[in-house]
Amino acid sequence: MFSQINILEKMRAIKIHITFFLTILASAPLLAQLTPFAVINDSDGYTNIRYGKNKKVVDKLHSNQVFAIRSIVDTDGWQDWFWIDYPDYTQAKKPFERFVNKTKDGMIHKTRITPLPDLPQWKKSITDSALICTRGLDKITIRYGKFIKKNHTYEKVGQDLIVKIDGSEPWGIDGILYDNTTEIKSITLEINKQKYEFPKEAIKNMLRPTTIIANFGVAESSAETLFLYMSNSDAAGAYDVVWTIKSGKVVNQFIYRNF
């Protein structure tokens, strides 16, 4: 009898913990997304970025300008306000711009945030050498393969710690290249019967791309704007990346680490 009571008490305790956990997840769905990236949800076409205890307006984001959800603001306002990191889009001077890491930050109200996975998604599949996203006859193909060490130059700290490959920061490694390291070889967009290849700059040093189907996707904001996003590598080398595609061409890339 004693053992039965103990079992019932343990089951009740487990049920309470599960209920509490599910309540937290339901209250903070933005933190449970597989990718940190999002866009604004505002009929005005822009949303104010705020900062500080008084939430002073310091900047604004416009429709289809992607950002990363970092965390809640504090225990008092966690259901309403989120910290975000976002590129300084005013600095975009070229047809394609690569934005790296946390360029600016601030707060946005939760009602003004639409995570990329909540937008319409293209279908996904994986082969031995490619990640594929499709919408009808339209297709994005991310081809990946082995990183060939001898084809590149390196800048190191000490004997072994790699800090630059071909003059730029590598993504997906923690200073060490292993024999089985992979890289993105190319990204091809086929849309409206036109074929477009991403520029080399848009895939440079993108190492250890994911081969997990849940960790990449194409979100459709409109007929003219798409977001290709990936969560790559793991541990200290982990990074998230999103490419913004407008009118059939990639216009920018945001590479992000939340640490």
pLDDT in tens, 11-61: 443 333 333 333 333 345 565 567 999 999 999 999 999 988 788 999 999
The span from the CA of 51 to the CA of 71, in Å, is 14
pLDDT digits (tens, 9 = 90+) for 185-214: 999 999 988 999 999 999 999 999 999 999
Ramachandran bin of 78, using left for φ above 0, alpha for ψ from -120 to 50, beta for the remaining angles? alpha
Q: pTM, whole model, 2 decimals?
A: 0.86
pLDDT-derived band at 78 (thresholds 50, 70, 90) equals low
Nearest to 55 by CA among 88, 29, 83: 83
How many other C-beta atoms can be found within 10 angstroms of the C-beta atom of residue 96? 16
Q: What is the reported pLDDT for 235?
A: 84
Read off the DSSP letter of residue 198.
P
Distance (Å, whole) CA 151 – CA 259: 30
Phi-psi region of 113 (alpha: psi -120 to 50; beta: other; left: phi over 0): beta
Give the DSSP H or E segment for 84: strand 81-86
Is residue 217 within 8 A of residue 131, CB to CB? The reply is: no
Name every residue whose Cβ is closer than 8 Å to that of residue 110 and which is 6 or more positions away in sequence: 30, 79, 80, 81, 82
Structure confidence by residue, pLDDT tens digits, 87-138: 999 988 899 999 996 689 999 999 999 999 999 999 999 999 999 999 999 9
